[in-house]
Structure 1
Amino acid sequence: MTKIKLTYFDIQGVAEKVRLAFVLNGVDFEDVRIKHAEWQELKPKTKFGQLPLMQIDDGEEVAQSDAMLRFAATLGAAKLMPKEPIEQLKVNEAMGLVDDIARSWMPAHSIGMSPQKFGYEEGFQNTDEGKAKVLAMRENWLKTELPKFMKLVTALIEANGDEGFLASKDAPTIADCHMVPLLRNYQRGFMDGVPTTSLDEFTTVTAYIKRFLSIPEVAKYYEK
């Protein structure tokens, strides 16, 4: 039996899609969650200076969460990536849309953590001016960009019927493992300026999220 250790922070973040893929495929894995205080010591020892990391059978550590997700699809029940090339293309198309959303959102998200990447001084986000800037950027994105993306997500879901997923009519794929954690970021209320009601008007999308979360394996995972 393959021994897998997945290391990330004690948050959902970019590792959640990999965790969900393991859960849905019935793959046992060691879910190591480190504190941010531990990261500075660990970072120089990591392959690319980033998390998550995955280690297989005590071998070399592997980086890049998308690579891990595609690997997870091949394990256990191996039901998260269809075998037909055309169906695989649909999954990868949906995966690309998730990446487009994340890339578009990144400036509004990151300025609240690393303003120096955008030409501001470190700690800018904690000043009155910085707090206002963060809220303004996030409010603008939610107003102008989110509806555009939710229209695209809705179209993918509706193409697969009332009970469908992003790239399949009857079962989740790794595209859903990728998409749902990202969408839930706009519902969970942990980011300043992002109300828990941000997705409420997009009823096809919210129904899709509930459908995914109600899958028995997923529901059991989140009960922990």
Structure 2
Amino acid sequence: MPHYKLYYFDVRSRGEVIRLLFHLADEKFDDERFMMEEWGALKSQMPLGQCPVLEVDGVKISQTTAIARYLGHQFHRAGTNAIDCARLDMMAEVVQEFMSADGMGKFSRVLIGMLPDNKDQFFKEKVIPDIEKYAPLIEKFLLENGNNGLLLGDRETWVDVFAAETFSKVIDYGSPDALDAYPHILALINRVFNHPNIKKYVASRKQTPA
């Protein structure tokens, strides 16, 4: 197997889905976490000057979705044919848009104090409108796949993990009732985080501010 090394800050934010995929697959990787003040020395070493970055046998790959998609294929957590892969990519783009939207995209920086906004007010005024825009789309995809808590088929894919981690943060850091209107997303989160491998990791996971 390749040697994997993940570079990301010591928070969940955009890097946690990658960690979850490794734990789902029960694959070893070096979890290289660093603090904000250490980033300046590392930035020039990264392909796009940003992180997360996954190093695979010395080759660095940037962008959360590109890394998650790569691992999905490596760990057999992608579609089994071209059309299913395309459908998963479509759903992943919705999650990516939500994660990068005006409110959700800045929420982590509010949580760690990089932006001066009040957390509760920012969540109510900026993040909730993003939830109301994107959650119904994911809810629709889940409903179309039946009642098994997954986006496609009957086995967890990389996009299920991507969506579950992204939406779970609005509960964990925003409001416990933020997704009450979306029972299928709640079922997705429940299924992914109750997978034995992920459940074991989360039980010992360090609490982080974002």
Q: Structure 1 CA distance, aligned partners of 2:159 and 2:54?
A: 20
Displacement of 1:142? 4.5
User: In the TM superposition, what are the counterparts of 1:142-221 in structure 2 within 5 Å?
Assistant: 142-168=127-153, 170-189=154-173, 194-221=174-201
Does the Cα contact within 8 Å between 1:5 and 1:32 map onto a contact in 2? Answer: yes
The verdict on how the C-alpha distance between 1:28 and 1:42 changes in structure 2, with shifts beyond 3 A counting, is: same
Q: Structure 1 CA distance, aligned partners of 2:176 and 2:108?
A: 19
Determine if the alignment matches structure 1 residue 16 to structure 2 residue 16.
Answer: yes
Does the Cα contact within 8 Å between 1:167 and 1:175 map onto a contact in 2? Answer: no
1:78-103 CA-partner distances (Å, limit 9, x unpaired): 32112211211221111011022123
Comparing 22-31 and 135-144, the one that deviates more: 135-144
Determine if the alignment matches structure 1 residue 72 to structure 2 residue 71.
Answer: yes
Displacement of 1:5? 0.8
- What are the ranges of 5 or more consecutive residues in structure 1 without an aligned counterpart? 116-122
DSSP 3-state at the match of 1:185 = helix
Displacement of 1:173? 0.9
Q: Structure 2 CA distance, aligned partners of 1:211 and 1:110?
A: 24
Determine if the alignment matches structure 1 residue 140 to structure 2 residue 140.
Answer: no
Determine if the alignment matches structure 1 residue 47 to structure 2 residue 47.
Answer: yes
Residue 38 of structure 1 is matched in structure 2 by: 38
DSSP 3-state at the match of 2:15 = helix
In the alignment of these two chains, the number of paired residues is: 203
Q: Structure 1 CA distance, aligned partners of 2:160 and 2:61?
A: 23
- The share of aligned pairs that are identical, in percent, is 23
Residue 120 of structure 1 is matched in structure 2 by: none
1:157-197 CA-partner distances (Å, limit 9, x unpaired): 111122131122x11111112111110111112xxxx3232
Q: Whose radius of gyration is greater, 1 or 2?
A: 1
- Output the aligned Cα RMSD: 2.5
Does the Cα contact within 8 Å between 2:21 and 2:158 map onto a contact in 1? Answer: yes
1:36-93 CA-partner distances (Å, limit 9, x unpaired): 2211222233322111122222x23332222211221232xx3211221121122111
With normalisation by structure 1, the TM-score equals 0.79
DSSP 3-state at the match of 1:45 = coil
Q: Structure 1 CA distance, aligned partners of 2:178 and 2:195?
A: 23
With normalisation by structure 2, the TM-score equals 0.84
